[in-house]
Structure 1
Amino acid sequence: MPVHNSEIAAMFDHVADLLEIQDANPFRVRAYRNAADTVRDQSRSVAAMLDEGADLAELPDIGDDLAGKIAVIVRTGHLALLDEISDDVPEAIVAATRIPGIGPKRARKLFDALDLTSLDDLEKAAEDGRIARIAGFGEKTQARIRDELARGDITERRLRIDTAEEFGEPLLAWIRGIDGMEKAEIAGSYRRRKETVGDLDILVAGRDGGKIIERFTAYDEVEDIASKGKTRSTVTLRSGLQVDLRVIPSLSWGAALHYFTGSKAHNIAGRRRAQDRGLKLNEYGLFKGDEQIAGANETQIYDGIGLPWIDPVLRENRGEIEAAENGQLPDLVELGDVKGDLHAHTTASDGKNTLCEMAAAAKRQGYEYLAITDHSKSQTQAGGLGADELAAQIDAIAELNEKIDGIRLLAGCEVDILKDGGLDFHDSLLERLDLVVASVHSNFALDEDAQTERIIRAMDNPLVHIIGHPTGRLIGQRRAYALDIERLVGAARTRGCALELNANPIRLDLKDVHCRLAAEHGVRIAISTDAHSTGGLDHMRYGIDQARRGWLERGDVLNTLGLDDLVKALKRN
């Protein structure tokens, strides 16, 4: 049974969390976190690499011990160390670490100080004021814990789009391997390329429903079969992901694909248009009375209700129906439009590959340019560069540009925005850079006015070109900090500063609606990967998906410009 990279990475992350809760050696904790990042960043299956005889110890941050553990996981699906230490840490403490601002050590402190045994106990402690009395917590933290637990989504299981893809695409390929299968697609929020998915909906058109269902339920990652009929089945994969499969008649393929892609609000709007024309639209087709007049493909469905085909990424009932009716659908940006990446790290800070290796990888992507933006000095935990180190890197980039062909490296830096809105380096050094990405990495708990003013002050410096991951969120781990996004967009417009759409699937920051807001105000978006390895450059496609959900066109995106035009665009007034 194949083991996916995300499963291995999740095991290592879980080990790191448990070790940190147990107050283990911080270097040991960091080793597992780094290994998780390395496995997650691989563009190829680690299991396949092992089958081909690759020495995983040669990967960054792996080594012989962790390579051996990966081999055991691939062979058995288990990690003995994880089983051992899991017995010593209550699951409720692990769940509490998913509350923003409550890391493993603070979660352990909470449970020990108050003698808690469950999340219900934690919620009661937040409600009756006991948490605020613990040193280092206080009223604000107590309120945040209470609010997060009240939301009820701490234990909710949703997979990031990249993880869902890792499980869904091999399953789809397995289904497509059966004789008599005509078409198969994953629909739902996955097809709309949302940031996270709760489950997968797979549609199949074929002649033998029973045979298709048998093939589906025989997939080697199926752990539980909830239902199994002639045209429909529901299973749960080993990963815990629920998958629903429906076998559809070919004459209804387009109607079913439209219906099960959603969104619900988009479908309701479509059905109303059909009703206005005396028609009925459902998952079986478009009908006039009892006669099906369309249904075999989606274009027929949209034609039948008086609209051009609408890209699934736009189907959220956010004005796409009206835009389609008026011939104003956006010409969405595509991956092939991207000319370079404006946010990447090397071994100089917390990256896993050297300057030369990152340059070569960007060249393989077909890019004209790559900005090297290692962390600034305040990011000590990420190996942030001091002033002398950054100056040396600027010289090294200039020297490397003299030696390489087909790619231009831009000397940049991801500069910390300090609490007061100042920057981590003096202007005399920043002036030497081709590109400055200014980012918030600390003081997340400032109120909305203070946080917004802080970032705007950073933008006041004309040497800042891009605000990195503007809202600071980590999907499933940390909510966005309080921020007046409309005010931020307005300030970016008047100052000629770009905002980043961080393409790393754990961030996807900005959100789609914020991308659209920025474009409507004439603020350019830089879709960048924040790559910490050569494999991280492949994340650009997730950023493109997010940009398309935000209605972005090629002209809205800074790094669709060729090198010469980019250099001109980076010159702020």
Structure 2
Amino acid sequence: MDNKNIRRAFKLMASLMELHDENAFKIRGYQNAVAALERVDAPMAGMTEKELESYEGVGKSIAAKIVELNQTGSFSDLNKLLEVTPAGVVEMLNIKGFGPKKIRAIWKELGIENTADLLQACENDQIAKLKGFGAKTQETLKNALLYSQESKGKLLWAEAEIPAEDLKKILQETLQTDNVEITGEFRRKLEIINLLQLVIATENPVRTQEKINEISALQQDEKLSGPFAWRGTVAETGLKVEMKLVSEADFVNEVFKNSAADMHLSLPYNGSETLYNLLKKVTFKSEAEVYEKAGLQFIYPELREGLGELELAAENKLPKLLEDTDLKGILHNHSTYSDGANTLEQMAVFCKEQGYQYLGMCDHSKSAFYANGLQEGRVVQQQKEIDKLNEQLSPFKIFKGIESDILNDGSLDYEEDILKTFDFVVASVHSTLNMTCEKATQRLITAIQNPYTTMLGHPTGRLLLRREGYPIDHQAVIDACAENGVIIEINANPWRLDLDWRWVSYALEKGVMLSINPDAHSTTGYADMRYGVLMGRKGGLSAEMTFNAKSREEVEAYFVERKKEKGIL
């Protein structure tokens, strides 16, 4: 098992123990084990008990259970709790914002054992009558359940990446052809994948379908399939799959057609002609030939949305898109000072070893008590440690930052005497997520207008496939950032990817710089940077407009100059 699944098993164990009202001390032990395992970067699969025990916080009991997990896929104590817990109740533990204690109350007091009955109970006003719930909690729960229903069978791009590439490889090996290409939403780098589409070149579609049906990971839907289209699902995830079977000669055209949004294909690129019509007239040998024939600059698949890219390509004005290698540093990260899994030093050393020039440390502010937010004294303590580490790690630089909670009225956490000690401030909303669009927008604008706000963090607070973001007027928020010189982050955590890529072009048009931030809570979180880059590219982001593509010296000068401009220095 990979490290993520091992940690997930122990998180489930802790939740189940809390659900069954077991010993609080033992529950805390499993929660501490999860925190310890977050700090293990090396693959735990195949490690011996002794090797596992060498990690701080991993005792003999936990090490033994990890070995058992690797050997059997579970461990006995977890199995015992799963045996006495209805599967539907286990599923209910995944409802965002509702912990084991609330799920226990629903299960034990109302006898509800699945999400379908839970939704019906919300409709019948039963949940609101439970002690500790109320009408507001019931409505929140109902909305979470409806959102979860809509999300079934869908995957984040990051979740779909490995299964999609694995399926492509299996198909190539099974069909003994290289002409298998992933297209559709995945190739266009959409943040959520509703349907995994592939194009396969074959001269014998009947035999090809027979061979596809031999792949155990797939389940065909015969009613939806046809002679030239296999449709079904990936058995493990329920993700819908569509494979189009075409001749070798038509392979490139079909790949191109299925790698672009309808608007990209149907909008005229020269006043009258469309790419869709061009594909009907000419058989191409490469996608580059399509654009060359149309007299257009080559357009990468992630830009093929029909959102102005054709006009730019006609004038040879498409930007040079941001690359992973353009990024010089990582801003917005958390350490064990708040809710991170790795120490400040570990975060910094690992960042330096990855070849970056600087790290922005942004632990949670004091209002985020649930995340061990920093009281004023601990801010001073952390900044002293940063000064010491900067001497040791020079020329690598740790910038003193904070993820300051935006309070309900739009003000920032901390008084000015603390705020002025930071090199930069990322302002983010973490509480009261149910405001109206007008109030939520004004809340953000008030924070943006604060002279201490350097950067706006995850503007809508969304968690893809888990929780909708709070509604905001994106245009008004971006305009305020432009007026106040505030950077907007593209939060690279694959559950967030917020700012949404659909607003990147407007931000760039207004001259607002964007920063690709992983919001990393461990050293492994740095790997999420690539997802932020993908979303930036999808919105047309270049290195020139990416804040953390600046060098260490440029970033340091920017922070100092900004504070001078705002009268802080």
**For this structure pair, what is the TM-score category when the shorter chain's length is used for normalisation?**
0.7 to 0.9
Where does 1:180-219 land on structure 2 (aligned, <5 Å)?
A: 181-205=177-201
How many Å separate the matches in 1 of 2:100 and 2:460? 23
Q: 1:555 Cα shift?
A: 2.4
| 1:255 and 2:253 correspond | yes
Q: CA deviation at 1:398?
A: 1.4
Determine if contact 1:362/1:407 at 8 Å carries over to the other structure: no
1:161 aligns with 2:161: no
**Which stretch of the first structure deviates more once superposed, 221-230 or 322-331?**
221-230
1:64-85 deviations in whole A, cap 9, x for unaligned? 4444434333333345545433
TM-score (norm 1): 0.84
Determine helix, strand or coil for the equivalent of 1:294: coil
Equivalence for 2:307: 318
Distance 1:25 1:476 in 2: 33
Q: What is the one-letter code of the residue matched to 2:299?
A: I
Structure 1 Cα separation of the partners of residues 192 and 25 of structure 2: 32
Farther-moved stretch of structure 1 (226-235 vs 142-151)? 226-235
Match of 1:368 in 2: 357
- Conserved in 1, the CA contact under 8 Å of 2:151 and 2:465? no
The answer to whether residue 122 in structure 2 is matched with residue 126 in structure 1 is: yes
Q: Deviations over 1:85-116 (max 9, x none)?
A: 33444444455555554444334434544444
The structure-2 alpha-carbon separation of the partners of 1:123 and 1:279, relative to structure 1 and needing over 3 Å to count, comes to closer
Q: Structure 1 CA distance, aligned partners of 2:527 and 2:430?
A: 24
Q: CA deviation at 1:196?
A: 2.1
Secondary structure of the structure 2 residue equivalent to 1:551: coil
| Residue pair 1:343, 1:528 contacting (<8 A) in 2 also | yes
Matched, 1:425 2:420: no
- Higher mean C-alpha deviation, range 149-158 or range 403-412: 149-158
Aligned to 2:70: 74
Aligned to 1:491: 480
Distance in structure 2 (CA, Å) of the matches to 1:244 and 1:521: 40
Which amino acid in the other structure matches residue 484 of structure 1? D
Does the CA contact (< 8 Å) of 1:94 and 1:104 recur in 2? no
Contact 2:203–2:246 (CA under 8 A) maintained in structure 1: no
Matched, 1:439 2:404: no
Q: What's 1:514 paired with?
A: 503
What is the alpha-carbon distance in structure 2 between the residues aligned to residue 244 and residue 341 of structure 1? 38
C-alpha deviation, 1:265, in angstroms:
4.0
SS in 1 for 2:178: strand
Deviations for 1:507-558, whole angstroms, at most 9, x for unmatched residues?
Answer: 1111111333322222221111111122211111000001112222222221
Deviates more, 1:158-167 or 1:523-532: 158-167
Cα distance, 1:441 vs. partner?
1.9
Is 1:482 matched with 2:471? yes
- The structural deviation recorded for 1:235 is 6.0
Q: Is the 8 A contact 1:100 1:479 kept in 2?
A: no
Correspondences of 1:6-405 after superposition (within 5 Å): 7-24=5-22, 46-47=44-45, 50=46, 55-58=51-54, 63-96=59-92, 101-147=97-143, 149=145, 153=149, 156-175=152-171, 181-205=177-201, 222=217, 224=219, 236-245=234-243, 249-267=247-265, 269=266, 277=273, 286-288=279-281, 293-405=282-394
Structure 2 match to 1:548: 537
Counterpart secondary structure, 2:490: strand
The Cα RMSD (Å) is: 3.8
Contact 1:202 1:244 in 2 (8 A): yes
Once the two structures are TM-superposed, the CA of residue 449 in structure 1 deviates from its matched residue by 3.0
**Cα gap change, 1:328/1:312 in structure 2, threshold over 3 Å: closer, same or farther?**
same
Structure 2: how far apart are the matches of 1:191 and 1:217?
24
Q: Deviations over 1:344-398 (max 9, x none)?
A: 1222222222223222222233212111112222333323222122112212111
Distance 1:542 1:59, change over 3 A: farther
Q: Which runs of 5+ in 2 are unaligned?
A: none
2:249 aligned counterpart, secondary structure: helix
State the alpha-carbon separation in 2 of the partners of residues 236 and 216 from structure 1: 12
Q: Distance in 2 between matches of 1:209 and 1:9?
A: 43
State the secondary structure of the residue aligned to 1:425. coil
Q: Following the alignment from structure 1 to structure 2, what is the Cα–Cα distance between the partners of residues 279 and 489? A: 33
Aligned residues: 559
Q: Give 1:529's match in structure 2, choosing from 500, 518, 538.
A: 518
Deviations 1:7-38 (A, max 9, x none): 54554454444444334456665666676688
Deviation track 1:140-163 (CA, whole Å, cap 9, x = no partner) reads: 444444455556735612122222
Structure 1 residue 413 corresponds to structure 2 residue 408:
no
Cα distance, 1:502 vs. partner?
0.9
CA contact (8 A) 1:41 1:536 kept: no
Kindly tell me: are residues 449 and 71 of structure 1, through their superposed partners in 2, closer, same or farther at Cα, counting changes over 3 Å? same
Structure 1 residues 67, 384: closer, same or farther in 2, change over 3 A? same
Q: Could you say if the C-alpha distance between residues 193 and 72 of structure 1 is closer, same or farther in structure 2, counting changes exceeding 3 Å? A: farther
Per-residue CA distance 1:256-309 (angstroms, 9 max, x = gap): 221232334434x16x7799559965xxx9343xxxx33321122333444333
Do 2:364 and 2:374's aligned partners in 1 also have CA atoms closer than 8 Å? yes
Mark the runs of 5 or more structure 1 residues left unpaired by the alignment: none
Q: Per the alignment, do residues 217 and 399 of structure 1 end up closer, same or farther by CA in structure 2, a change over 3 Å counting?
A: farther
**Could you say if the C-alpha distance between residues 90 and 482 of structure 1 is closer, same or farther in structure 2, counting changes exceeding 3 Å?**
farther
Q: In the alignment, is the contact (CA less than 8 A) between 2:148 and 2:466 conserved in 1?
A: no
Alignment pair present for 1:504 and 2:493: yes
Matched, 1:468 2:454: no
- Contact 2:497 2:532 (8 Å CA) reproduced: yes
Contact 1:226 1:236 in 2 (8 A): no
